[in-house]
Amino acid sequence: MPPAAMSGMPHQGRDDIDTTWNYLQAGITKIMLNLQEGVDLQTYMGIYTAVHNFCTSQKAVGFSVAANINTGAHRGAHLLGEDLYKKLQEYLSEHLRGLLAESQTHTDEALLAFYIREWQRYTVAAKYIHHLFRYLNRHWVKREMDEGKKSIFDVYTLHLVRWRDVLFTPVSEKVMNAVLMLVEKQRNGETIEYNQIKQVVESFVSLGLDDTDIAKTTLDVYRYSFERPFLDATRKFYQNESKQFVAENSVVEYMKKAEARLDEEEERVKIYLHPDIAIPLKKACNEVLIAEHSTILRDEFQVLLDNDREDDMKRMYSLLSRIPDGLEPLRQKFENHVRKAGLAAVAKVSVDVDKLEPKVYVDALLEIHTQYQGLVKRAFNDEPEFTRSLDNACREFVNRNEVCKSGSNKSPELLAKYTDVLLRKSGTGAEETELENTLSQIMTVFKYIEDKDVFQKFYSRMLARRLVHSNSSSDDAETSMISKLKEACGFEYTNKLQRMFQDMQISKDLNTGFKEHVQGLGAKGLDSAYSILGTGFWPLTAPNTTFNPPEEISADCERFARFYRNKHEGRKLTWLWQLCKGEIKTNYIRNAKMPYTFQVSIYQMAILLLFNEKDKNTYEEIASTTQLNAEALDPSLGILLKAKVLTISDGDKVGPGTTYSLNYDFKNKKFRVNLNVGMKSETKQEEAETNKTIEEDRKLLLQSAIVRIMKARKRMKHQQLVSETINQIRQRFVPKVGDIKKCIEILLDKEYLERLDDDDLGYLA
């Protein structure tokens, strides 16, 4: 430290407080007003030392030194520190009153520039003075603050408190008005010096002093003096602008304008506003620019939907998602729109329901789903609530449309038939990847099907035919489809389907063993293959006619039956003749370049083999030999006649009394001719049988669900039981209340349930 006798520096032992202060004040004034010119080291150290000496002097002016040196020194230092602090406080107040008077001569941007300039000069000087008075801070100020004096601050904070109380409070409103004028200019497209606003914000934040705890800072001053008027001005500006813009422009143009304004305000926060304002500013802008115009935005949504204005819908979604409950009306309109679009698409393709191709129907459903799923993804950000609206709409038009009016089971039936077309050999000729994608799309529609049990019935019957006739395009595709169904509906739904595949594999192994067995016997058998189908897993019934197979077929079947019984004692085989098929090679046709091969059903085979014995057979002879009833015989003969394999004489009717002749002049472009084709009447009958089975199965499902519920609950109200049954069954199909009540009555009659008091039902163990 320089010696106390430094030039111009008073010595505490000689000079009183006024003399010392005069010396200090000259240096402080130089720092406050001319800091840019610099402070020489001699002056700086002189002030620093004077403060130190003043605060550590053992003699206070007007007091004699006490007998106890230490006590007197403490008391003197205490009083001298207080005097010095008060002198500095008065000096700062006076300096700021001068600035306040000078500020009266400025307005608007000039006032803003004055405020910023003086603030920077003042705070920089405060840091210097704070350092020069470090000894005062370290001892007297610290001691006063430790004793709980709330009005005592360190020297730098004292500068801020004085600025706040003397200058800021009177001029802050005018300064803020100047800021708001500058911001409005920028909003109107003018270029401004935004650093000025940033510096004002920083000054307002710096003045957030907690008078009760100087260690803490708050944003109270900033929020009251800057944030509040800024938000009020923002609301007013955008209310006026948006009202005028809406009156003169379209809704779409307004959305673009609002979007741009919201982006501007977010950018404004990043550039020169305090982060604390981000949320309230966003809220204020959302209220004024969006919420106050939400009605006209929502009214425009239907127009955008009708005209596929995807970009504009995305813009509207983005805006309305900013306000509470802003999107709910859009979701409802979207759901109604998709439902109507789906119903219209179905109506367009279903002019004749009886001739409706499954592929055409399913494609119509998928086209609408794909279109609006894409819209949800691109325009509505894949939002779960919009996805739910899409699902609700799809569920409606898939299950309740023009086609379904002809039968509630039509959608799942057509979906199953389309799946059958895809999975049959030569069904579509689709590549493996393409087929997998199409099956995934099938599952999209399946997800919306309410009567999943109907799909299961039709699908299992068609799968059974594909497997029995070895007509599947790909085992991998079949397995993939079953996996998808299992994932969607659980193990129970696909259990029987998987068992059907297992039976086919077991049958392959049996056939291999049978061929080895025949070879071991040295017998000459047919080139045959047998499928052993478990009764409980295959949706197949015994033939509805008697049948006497040809001798060659009968002998081979008997041989296989003996082989099977040896392996599985006690099992009974029921022959499903209606599913059997084979091939016959022809050697009788005139002028044929090579023999034709007929692919026939077992019934057709039995009929044609009769013509090995003679060229003509009567209807009665055929019926007597084959033992087929008219229901099975007539369609088989009809196909042979239609293909011109057999002919009838002119005037003879098809049926009893008709004579059939072998056509030696048969011609066909193909040498392998498929005669094993289903008749429409057979298809209709099978559909009727399937629907009948569905109704019977549903009754059993409902009864088992009711018993299961009552067994667990023991006692329930009638209405509660109905509701619980619906909840348990709805994954398979949507049950009708009337059907549930009928099933309850059946169970009451069977004494599974009993009636109790107050409409209660009880379970009978």
Whole-angstrom distance, CA of residue 695 vs CA of residue 40: 106
Could you tell me the CA-to-CA distances from 83 to 21, 90, 155 in Å, in that order?
Answer: 10, 11, 14
What is the distance of C-alpha 669 from the center of its chain?
A: 55
What is the predicted pLDDT for the residue at 257?
95
Could you tell me the CA-to-CA distances from 522 to 205, 209, 566 in Å, in that order?
Answer: 107, 111, 19
What is the predicted pLDDT for the residue at 679?
53
Q: Delimit the domains of the chain by residue range.
A: 17-218, 227-306, 580-678, 684-763
Task: Tell me if 17-218 shares its fold with 227-306.
Answer: yes
What is the predicted pLDDT for the residue at 61?
42
User: What is the share, in percent, of the chain residues with pLDDT greater than 90?
Assistant: 29
Q: How many C-beta atoms surround the C-beta of residue 235 within 10 A?
A: 16
List of the chain residues with pLDDT < 50? 1-15, 58-77, 681
What is the predicted pLDDT for the residue at 71?
36
What is the predicted pLDDT for the residue at 651?
54
User: 599 near 673, Cβ under 8 Å?
Assistant: yes
Whole-angstrom distance, CA of residue 48 vs CA of residue 81: 14
| Nearest C-alpha neighbor of 599 from the set 582, 586, 575, 615 | 582
Backbone angles phi, psi at 646, to 5 degrees: -115, 155
| Nearest C-alpha neighbor of 546 from the set 579, 578, 572, 573 | 578
CATH code that applies to domain 17-218: 1.20.1310.10
What is the predicted pLDDT for the residue at 444?
93
Element (H, E) at 549: none
- Coil, helix or strand for 754? strand
Token output for 89 = 């406080």
| Nearest C-alpha neighbor of 536 from the set 480, 469, 460 | 460
The architecture in CATH of the region 227-306 reads Up-down Bundle (1.20)
User: 285 near 261, Cβ under 8 Å?
Assistant: yes
Could you tell me the CA-to-CA distances from 389 to 164, 440, 445 in Å, in that order?
Answer: 57, 21, 16
- Tell me which fold the domain 684-763 belongs to: Arc Repressor Mutant, subunit A (1.10.10)
What is the predicted pLDDT for the residue at 38?
63
CATH code that applies to domain 580-678: 3.30.230.130
The whole-model pTM stands at 0.76
